[in-house]
Chains A and B, each alone.
Chain A
Amino acid sequence: MVTVFNFTTPYSPPCTERHAMVPNKLVRLALIVGVALLTATGADAQRAGGGRGKQEAPAATPGGPIYTPPSPAMNISGVWWTQSYSPKIEVVGGGDLPFSEKGKSQYASNMAALKDGSLKDEARRLCVPDGLPRILGNPYPFQLIQTPGRVTFVYELNHVIRPVPLDKPQQSAEELEVAPYYSGHSVAHWNGETLVIETTGFNEKTFIDATGAPHSDSMTTVELVKKLDDKTLEDVITVTDPMMFTKPWSARFVYDLHPEVRLEDYVCGEKHRDISMVKGVVPK
């Protein structure tokens, strides 16, 4: 028998507050009836779901500190999935990455070491984060969650998290140096209906792409994230890293909305979801 809890401190639900902001009676009625029906079906399934005890039927009271984006175009929350994957990053405008002499030398060294095994692609071997911009093109779905003052990227691949505070100053150089991240430290603001994400404070343990293209810990990125339509999202990232590149360059990633997809667990070395349908993926 599942215990019905008695908390040690009494409380009174704030019933008078709960529907105070619902705009009109019709919508309020629809909400209550709709949730009641949905939760009723949930109760049926829960009763069949296992466990010895009786399960309580959910109450018809949805909730949570929900953020409401200012417009549908600025509602970028949801599960997104790249339209295509490329192991070699595709530069906007075509051509190769504009490597500096050091970058060119480092890239050649990386490729040779990856080939002979003296350098490991730890993002694939130990499942540490891919870092930017590589993770933007990964072939697994990811989720964007907008909450008050923040956008959070939750990637299925390697369960990577990117918290992106809105309208906050970037941390000081000293703070960033103490704790460089695989995914860097991001801040963002809205420019019209485009989310502008500026990221710095990277470590130098990641590659630009799966071929081993290098970056330094001086890399900075600017992403322009916007909806192309209700079901399509674009992220154009511009990478600046004078140590490895002669000039800034950009890459573009396009995602489809997948409300039917739930992110799955991702544990290194286990079998994961089928991604063979993603254009460009060659399962190994």
Chain B
Amino acid sequence: MDRGLTIVFALRVAGLCAAAWPCLAAAQSGVPDFSGSWTRKWETASTYDAPPSGPGPVMVDPAHPHHGHRTGVADQPDLESTPWIADYNNPILKPEAREVVKRITEQEAAGHPHVEHQTLCMPSGVPEILNLRDDMEMLFSPGGNEITMVYWRDNQVRHVYLNVPHSKDPPKTWYGESVGHYENDMLVIDTIGLNDKTDTDRFGTPHSDQIHVVERYRLADDKKSLEVLFTVDDPKFFTTAWSGRADYRRDNRPLRELVCAENNQPLAMGDQPPIPTAAKPDF
């Protein structure tokens, strides 16, 4: 069918549905309920878990496991945190990406921590936003045309437009352009149009503005977990498309106001990172 006619016909159908306004909402009530707040569960905090099969993300080098600072925990010895040592020999990395991760890892080992964008009060981008420690919520707009994803950390927001195509040439932005659809009870979010200013993960793995991320969300059978599998493709920095897992567990705490710029404190290493500041106001 001619594309113009397709759109016209689709709009007419949409108009028919609009006349019986509640119908769309009613039709959508049978799909899984992703609403409420969710918090990440992971094997190593702030990193992706391995996918069930196939090429996986850069992870902690098994020879140098990471643990955070621990003190005052009953029956547990106090621990100083260890540096994040990445497995930069992961074959997904092209040489130029491996060099970046290797350099950052060596700096970590030398006592100079890699500062994540979230610590700098900057957007985390996609997929790294999946690694935020604070809760995430999905807000479903009436009409069913959008899901707004709110992350407590600095109240970062992503907008996912449902059942629409990507723009022909979307501008490069921090969270890119996300479109979504359902495949049965699975929500699929497809994101392009990301800028190249964020990292792919907490190890500083770079990506270009050609990165393409597909996230798949589904409720676990017990409805208490949100299973998330995602695929990353970026020919500039990766030898192949790879996948990772970023599951959440249901939390249901009320959404909080978390303002990063308010609580930006000097890091343990004594460095005060710059936070986004406007030299002059917009208006």
Contacts and interface: CB of A to CB of B under 8 A. Distances in A.
A63 B141 CA distance: 11
Contact of B192 (A1, A50, A183): A50
A270 B195 CA distance: 14
Contact of A59 (B22, B184, B256, B278): B184
B246 interface: no
A50 to B, nearest CB: 5
A65 B29 contact: yes
Contacts of B31: 14, 18, 61-65
B52 A8 contact: yes
Interface in B265-279: 275-279
Contacts of A80: none
A91 interface: no
B75 interface: no
B181 A154 contact: no
A20 interface: yes
A265 B117 CA distance: 15
Contact of B182 (A59, A65, A147, A152): A59
Given A13-B184, A39-B163, A125-B277, A146 B142 contact: yes
A42 B210 contact: no
B132 interface: no
Interface string B20-44: 1111111111111111000000000
Contacts of A13: 184-185
Q: Interface of chain A, helix or strand or loop or mixed?
A: loop
Given A19-B30, A56-B183, A58-B181, A38 B164 contact: yes
Given A9-B221, A20-B30, A154 B150 contact: yes
A263 B158 CA distance: 9
B72 interface: no
Nearest to B219: A11
- Find the residue from A28, A61, A69 having the highest chain B CB count within 10 A: A61
A228 interface: no
A265 B276 contact: no
A94 interface: no
Interface residues of B, number: 99
A256 interface: no
B174 A267 contact: yes
- Find the residue from B22, B156, B278 having the highest chain A CB count within 10 A: B278
Contact of A68 (B16, B25, B53, B235): B25
Interface residues of A, number: 101
Contact of A272 (B6, B35, B282): B282
B122 interface: yes
B276 A267 contact: yes
Interface in A127-145: 127-129, 139, 143, 145
A146 B142 CA distance: 7
A182 B142 contact: no
A176 interface: no
B257 interface: yes
B283 A39 contact: no
Interface in A40-80: 40-46, 48-53, 55-56, 58-59, 61-69, 72, 75, 77
Interface in A168-197: 179, 181-183
A36 to B, nearest CB: 9
- Find the residue from B29, B32, B167, B210 having the highest chain A CB count within 10 A: B29
The 5 closest A-B pairs by CB, nearest first: A45-B165, A63-B31, A34-B13, A58-B181, A51-B212
20 contacts: A2-B214, A5-B243, A9-B220, A33-B13, A38-B10, A45-B166, A49-B166, A51-B212, A52-B212, A62-B162, A62-B182, A68-B142, A124-B281, A126-B276, A152-B255, A163-B255, A182-B259, A264-B173, A267-B174, A284-B281
Interface of B: 1, 3, 6-7, 9-10, 13-14, 16-17, 20-35, 51-54, 121-123, 139-144, 147-148, 150, 154-157, 159, 161-168, 173-175, 179, 181-185, 187-188, 190, 192, 210, 212, 214, 216, 218, 220-221, 227, 229, 231, 233, 235, 240-241, 243, 254-257, 259, 261-262, 275-283
Given A46-B190, A129-B259, 20 more contacts: A1-B240, A8-B52, A31-B17, A34-B17, A37-B9, A38-B163, A39-B163, A45-B166, A51-B233, A58-B182, A59-B181, A63-B144, A75-B142, A126-B261, A126-B278, A145-B141, A145-B142, A159-B155, A281-B283, A283-B282
Interface of A: 1-3, 5-9, 11, 13-15, 17-24, 26-28, 30-31, 33-35, 37-46, 48-53, 55-56, 58-59, 61-69, 72, 75, 77, 85, 121-122, 124-129, 139, 143, 145-148, 152, 154, 159-161, 163, 165, 179, 181-183, 205, 262-265, 267-270, 272, 275, 281-284
